[in-house]
Amino acid sequence: MAQAHTAHDGSHGSYSAYLIGFVLAVILTVASFAAVMTHALSPGMALAALTVLAVVQIVVHLVFFLHLNTSSEQSWNLMCFIFAAASVIVIIGGTIFIMHDTAINMMSR
Amino acid sequence: MAHEATMSPLAHADDHGGEHHHETPNVFGFWLYLMTDCVLFGSIFAAFAVLRNQYAGGPSGKELFDLTNVGIETAILLFSSITYGFASLNALAKNKTMVLVWLAVTFVLGASFVGLEVNEFTSMIAEGNGPDRSAFLSAFFTLVGTHGLHVTCGLIWMVVLMVQMMGPQDLSERMMNKLACLSLFWHFLDIVWICVFSFVYLAGVM
């Protein structure tokens, strides 16, 4: 049992890993809600804070819940994820850039 | 342990073939599907980002969104992530009863999430703020609805696995792969929800 547990620790997590991930996720989530609900930050700053907190929380979930890591066993998973993430950044960033530019030039706002 | 360390990796793999749970092609294939799902959600988020200010004289997010409700939904989904994690750990320890218990807890949490969301949607539609009200609301219902639909599919999948697990499949290697795929799916949906509550709800009420 002890042996099996050690062998699985790397790629499948443990109670402590899940709990660490959970606590970090709760802290980051509460920080996100606080950033908006306390009205302490200007809208621009709050949006920046939300973005940073969301990215950090996504990484926390990937590492502690989806067990994504840089081990050789996971290299294909990681590579596919990086490609997908890059695609998403291009899709969202490109769309916002193009549509904003269009809106400005068409004077639709 | 010492014995294991002296063995070559190949011998190690042969020795444990059945129970040592390495990443299989099934799980990797499912991971690839999730990456395409990632792009799907990215596209819907892009549409929402463009249309988020197009109210057509209708209500804005500030008037519509109830952050308490969103906070409860977020907490439920986060708890369901960790309870599914406990189910996974019990599956590795071959403790079938506890796997079923934790899966049932996860199911109840997931179902209450969907329930809260359906409740939110129906009350918005009843007030005349359905997806046909404005481009903003069309994008909102598409994005949040797609996520909710994924969660619903995950719930159906979870019930199917629980029923299969009580049958002859038990916690076979095949079942472990199925549980690993659903685990990826479930945790992935929680990641999508991070983006939903941050950029749709929280950014929407600012």
pLDDT in tens, B6-38: 333 443 344 444 444 556 789 999 999 999 999
pLDDT of residue B77: 96
Residue B173 maps to a domain: yes
* pLDDT, tens digit only, all 109 positions of chain A: 333 433 344 456 789 999 999 999 999 999 999 999 998 899 999 999 999 999 999 999 999 999 988 888 889 999 999 999 999 999 999 999 999 999 889 876 5
Residue B45 has pLDDT above 70, yes or no: yes
Q: Is the ipTM of this complex over 0.90?
A: no
Q: Look at B190 and A26 and tell me if their CB atoms are within 8 Å.
A: no
DSSP label at A72? G
How many domains would you assign to chain B? 1
Render pLDDT for B72-123 as a digit per residue (tens, 0 to 9).
999 999 999 999 999 999 999 999 999 999 999 999 999 999 999 999 999 9
CATH code of the domain containing B201: 1.20.120.80
Domain positions in chain A? 7-67, 70-109
Closest CA to B51 of A95, A94, A33: A95
Q: What is the pLDDT of residue B6?
A: 39
Report the percentage of chain B scoring pLDDT > 70: 89
CA-based torsion, B39, B44, B48, B54: positive or negative: positive
- pLDDT at position A74, please? 85
pLDDT higher than 70, residue B46? yes
CA distances from B55 to B52, B67, B96 (A): 8, 20, 51
Q: Token pair for residue B122?
A: 């129906």
Mean pLDDT of all residues in B128-150: 96
User: Domain limits at B161?
Assistant: 26-51+70-205
Cα–Cα distance for residue pair A15/B89, rounded to 1 Å: 8
Of B41, B71, B203, the CB nearest to A50: B203
B14 at A interface, C-beta within 8 A: no
CB-CB: which of B81, B82, B92 is closest to A8? B92
pLDDT value of residue A6: 38
Residue whose C-alpha is closest to residue B34's, from B23, B46, B26 = B26
Whether the predicted pLDDT of B195 surpasses 80: yes
What's the confidence (pLDDT) of residue A72?
Answer: 84
Instruction: Please state the rounded mean pLDDT for residues B144-169.
Output: 96
The residue of chain A nearest to residue B54, with distances taken between CA atoms, is: A109
Chain A CA closest to residue B76: A26
Name the residue with higher pLDDT: B145 or A6.
B145
Closest chain B residue by Cα to residue A83: B35
What are the residues whose beta carbons fall under 8 Å from the beta carbon of B144, sequence distance 6 or more?
B117, B121, B196, B200
Give yes or no for A57 touching B (CB within 8 A).
yes
Our CA-based measurement puts residue A105 at a distance from the nearest CA of chain B, in whole angstroms, of 15
Contact check, Cβ <8 Å, B190/A54: no
Q: Does B98 touch chain A (CB under 8 A)?
A: no
Contact B90, B130 (CB under 8 A): no
- Give the pLDDT confidence score for residue B11 in this predicted structure: 38
